[in-house]
């Protein structure tokens, strides 16, 4: 049976992610992987989850095993509205929908807003899953650079001015960005909202890492500066609780949320009722705050171990970001090294990363790489960075020879 000609035009544009292939490879047990963005397995609160699950089965099994509303379990929606207040977001339950991971939110937002050839402005570099969701609805990308203070607003405005039509959407991961680890400063957050008003576009704020801060002062969400309902915000329990539970939430203006619910209905009818109740009970018992404090300690140490190891083992000519939170840092090697080509050598040394070019819509960033510090043990971080340092040194020597 021949399938290719039967696919919709939309599906024909969907390509297997090269990163997925790489991640499969790096699952071999003897490879030290800095490639995936996985929480540390030691961070999962398994005993508490077992206890809460038993409680739900004994007290609310009928509701937990039943279909729920598309909007999500109301108590969890209320909790998410409350949780988002610490970032300055004023929301009620009516602004919140529980989603099956924020990836689902990104897909449904793209489905609702994007027509083929609409222009979406993304960060250079940007989160691959976000790019994939946008690409699936046949929009086109324009990338704008970031520096240590996040997306560069002067460049963004210049880019918009040169466009025939303003962009439909600006997609940003403003806090401890995946992949670069940088955080947009408050001044730029306000400026972005002003630009959205002036040029009449929507902002998609994707914030999976905001609660994972290890140093520096908290920042307000972009959504906190939005008094027109132009910002759609999403956050997730994947990195602070468990990605396997697939629970996240989206916050938006009530009008937009009504449309979002209709679109979600045809996607999955409702998010998993069972895990929503487990998570809510976990939060109701105030276990989540303690848990986040615990994982912050674990990840702060891992980040520091990686930074110290980079200092010790990466050769001269390399540089890297020093993120205040999240799971990633971003390293640069000399211009003449292509990190996509180098990955083969790294795998031979049993160490893996994601080459930076994968995160750029224009294929630039060939001398960059994303390193995830949350997954490997401290010993493996040291050993892995040592091996990677050796691989880079070899490349430098080969270039000079």
Ligand X SMILES: Cc1ncc(COP(=O)(O)O)c(C=O)c1O
d(CA 130, CA 107): 8
| 119-124 vs 140-147, strand pairing mode | parallel
d(CA 161, CA 300): 41
Of 205, 192, 259, 279, nearest to 235 by C-alpha is: 205
Position 238 contacts ligand X (CB under 6 A): yes
Position 129 contacts ligand X (CB under 6 A): yes
Query: Residue of minimal CB distance from ligand X?
Result: 101
Q: Is 335 exposed, middle or buried (0-12, 13-18, 19+ CB in 10 A)?
A: exposed
Among residues 26, 32, 35, 37, which is the contact residue for ligand X, using CB under 6 A? 37
d(CA 377, CA 374): 8
Position 276 contacts ligand X (CB under 6 A): no
| Shortest Cβ 129–ligand X spacing (Å) | 5
Among residues 34, 73, 79, 127, which is the contact residue for ligand X, using CB under 6 A? 127
Among residues 45, 167, 208, 210, which is the contact residue for ligand X, using CB under 6 A? 208
Q: Which is nearer to ligand X, 370 or 382 (CB)?
A: 370
- Token look-up 């960075």 returns 385
Residues 249 and 100 sit within 8 Å (Cβ to Cβ): no
| Shortest Cβ 100–ligand X spacing (Å) | 8
Residues 224 and 186 sit within 8 Å (Cβ to Cβ): no
CA 225-227-232 angle, 5° bins: 75
Q: Which is nearer to ligand X, 249 or 320 (CB)?
A: 249
Residues 52 and 294 sit within 8 Å (Cβ to Cβ): no
Q: How many CB atoms lie within 10 A of CB 115?
A: 9
Position 374 contacts ligand X (CB under 6 A): no
Q: Which is nearer to ligand X, 36 or 229 (CB)?
A: 36
Number of residues lying near ligand X (CB under 6 A): 15
| Shortest Cβ 180–ligand X spacing (Å) | 11
Name the 3-class secondary structure at 319. strand
Indicate the DSSP class of residue 208: S
Position 173 contacts ligand X (CB under 6 A): yes
Indicate the DSSP class of residue 151: E
| Shortest Cβ 235–ligand X spacing (Å) | 8
Position 39 contacts ligand X (CB under 6 A): no
Position 76 contacts ligand X (CB under 6 A): no
Q: How many CB atoms lie within 10 A of CB 369?
A: 31
Position 236 contacts ligand X (CB under 6 A): yes
Q: Which residues contact 66 (CB under 8 A, 6 or more apart)?
A: 273
| Shortest Cβ 35–ligand X spacing (Å) | 12
85-124 positions binding ligand X, by CB under 6 A: 101-103
Stretch that binds ligand X, among 58-66, 127-135, 160-168, 315-323 (CB under 6 A): 127-135
Residues 142 and 166 sit within 8 Å (Cβ to Cβ): no
| Shortest Cβ 311–ligand X spacing (Å) | 26
| Shortest Cβ 183–ligand X spacing (Å) | 13
Position 183 contacts ligand X (CB under 6 A): no
Stretch that binds ligand X, among 17-25, 125-133, 253-261, 388-396 (CB under 6 A): 125-133
Tokens, residue 182: 């940088």
Stretch that binds ligand X, among 27-35, 145-153, 235-243, 335-343 (CB under 6 A): 235-243
Position 178 contacts ligand X (CB under 6 A): yes
The phi-psi region of residue 67 (left if phi > 0; otherwise alpha if psi is between -120 and 50; otherwise beta) is beta
| Shortest Cβ 203–ligand X spacing (Å) | 15
Please give the residue ranges that form the binding site for ligand X (CB under 6 A): 37, 101-103, 127, 129-130, 173, 178, 206, 208, 236, 238, 243, 248
């Amino acid at each position: 049976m021949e399938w290719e000609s039967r696919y919709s035009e939309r599906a024909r544009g969907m390509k297997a992610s090269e990163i997925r292939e790489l991640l499969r490879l790096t699952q071999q047990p003897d490879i030290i992987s800095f490639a995936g963005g996985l929480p540390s397995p030691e961070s999962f609160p398994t005993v508490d989850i077992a206890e809460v699950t038993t409680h739900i089965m004994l007290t609310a099994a009928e509701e937990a095993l039943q279909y729920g509303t598309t909007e999500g379990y109301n108590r969890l929606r209320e909790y998410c509205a409350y949780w988002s207040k610490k970032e300055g977001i004023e929301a009620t339950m009516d602004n919140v929908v529980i989603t099956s991971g924020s990836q689902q939110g990104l897909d449904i937002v793209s489905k609702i807003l994007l027509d083929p050839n609409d222009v979406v402005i993304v960060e250079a570099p940007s989160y691959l899953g976000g790019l994939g969701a946008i690409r699936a609805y046949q929009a086109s990308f324009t990338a704008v650079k970031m520096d240590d203070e996040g997306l560069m607003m002067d460049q963004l405005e210049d880019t918009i001015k040169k466009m025939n039509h303003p962009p439909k959407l600006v997609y940003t991961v403003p806090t401890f960005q995946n992949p670069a680890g940088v955080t947009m400063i408050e001044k730029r957050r306000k400026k972005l909202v002003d630009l959205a008003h002036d040029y009449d576009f929507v902002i998609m704020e994707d914030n999976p890492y905001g609660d994972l801060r290890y140093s520096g002062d908290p920042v307000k969400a972009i959504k906190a500066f939005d008094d027109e309902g132009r910002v759609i915000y999403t956050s997730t329990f994947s990195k602070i609780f468990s990605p396997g539970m697939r629970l996240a939430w989206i916050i938006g203006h009530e009008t937009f949320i009504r449309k979002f619910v209709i679109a979600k209905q045809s996607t999955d009818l409702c998010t998993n009722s069972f895990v929503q109740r487990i998570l809510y009970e976990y939060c109701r018992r105030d276990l989540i705050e303690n848990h986040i404090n615990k994982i912050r300690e674990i990840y702060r140490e891992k980040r520091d171990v990686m930074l110290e190891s980079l200092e010790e083992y990466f050769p001269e000519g390399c540089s890297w970001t020093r993120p205040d939170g999240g799971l990633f840092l971003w390293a640069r090697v000399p211009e003449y090294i292509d990190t996509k080509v180098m990955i083969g050598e790294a795998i031979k040394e049993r160490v893996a990363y994601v080459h930076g070019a994968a995160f750029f819509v224009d294929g630039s960033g060939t001398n960059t790489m994303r390193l995830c510090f949350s997954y490997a043990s401290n010993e493996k971080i040291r050993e892995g960075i040592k091996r990677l340092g050796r691989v880079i040194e070899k490349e430098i020597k080969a270039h000079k020879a």
